[in-house]
Amino acid sequence: MGRYIDQILQPGERVLYSAKPHWIFYLPAIGLWVVAVVAAGVTQLQALAAIDERLKLGLLGIGGIVGLFAAVATLRAWFHRWTTETDVTSFRLVHKTGFVQRRTFEMSLDKIESVDLDQSILGRIFGYGDVTVLGVGEGRETIRTVAAPLAFRNSITAR
């Protein structure tokens, strides 16, 4: 299965910039993996040798359950990043999300009125932000948690 943008390019149109969702989508999964490993690893400490076996089994069970949640969170984040495409071509801006239920928007570069960037403190530190594209008329789309949002904004505004 190819990229969405490759299927819809018009004759003479070329991709100038491709933006990806930031890796920060994996942060909840990373946190859950840490909790799962700590819960399972605590049972192996020699200092806890005197602890009841039922407590150790309980901690292993909690680690296993949290590990399942971590696996689901990892798959969800990966799937979101895999099914989200944002591209700036020589003629338009194209954003696609979803796999089975697809949502897309396309805006001609000539019809873009302004491009706004919102970055939190963490977004500035880790390099992600939300980019809002305002089109002529009522067109307004926000692309959330884009990696390298300044480069993405510049690729839209530079002509």
Range of the domain at 38: 26-79
Give the model's pLDDT for residue 55. 78
Give the model's pLDDT for residue 158. 86
Q: Verify that 110 and 130 share a domain, yes or no.
A: yes
Strand partners, 143: 131
Nearest to 112 by CA among 96, 130, 88: 88
- Rounded to whole angstroms, how far apart are CA atoms 104 and 114? 20
φ and ψ at residue 108, rounded to 5 degrees: -65, 135
- Rounded to whole angstroms, how far apart are CA atoms 13 and 130? 26
pTM of structure: 0.82
What does pLDDT average to in each consecutive run of 10 residues of the chain (159 residues)?
Answer: 88 95 95 92 66 78 94 96 96 94 93 95 96 90 95 91
Q: Which long-range contacts (CB under 8 A, 24 or more apart) does 14-17 make?
A: 14/89, 14/90, 15/87, 15/88, 15/89, 16/88, 16/89, 16/90, 16/155, 17/87, 17/88, 17/151, 17/152, 17/155
Give the model's pLDDT for residue 91. 95
Give the model's pLDDT for residue 102. 92
Q: Verify that 34 and 94 share a domain, yes or no.
A: no
φ and ψ at residue 9, rounded to 5 degrees: -65, 135
Q: Verify that 62 and 92 share a domain, yes or no.
A: no
Give the model's pLDDT for residue 147. 96
Give the CATH number for residue 132. 2.30.29
Within the chain, residue ranges assigned H as helices are 4-8, 27-42, 53-83, 121-126, 149-157
Give the model's pLDDT for residue 156. 94
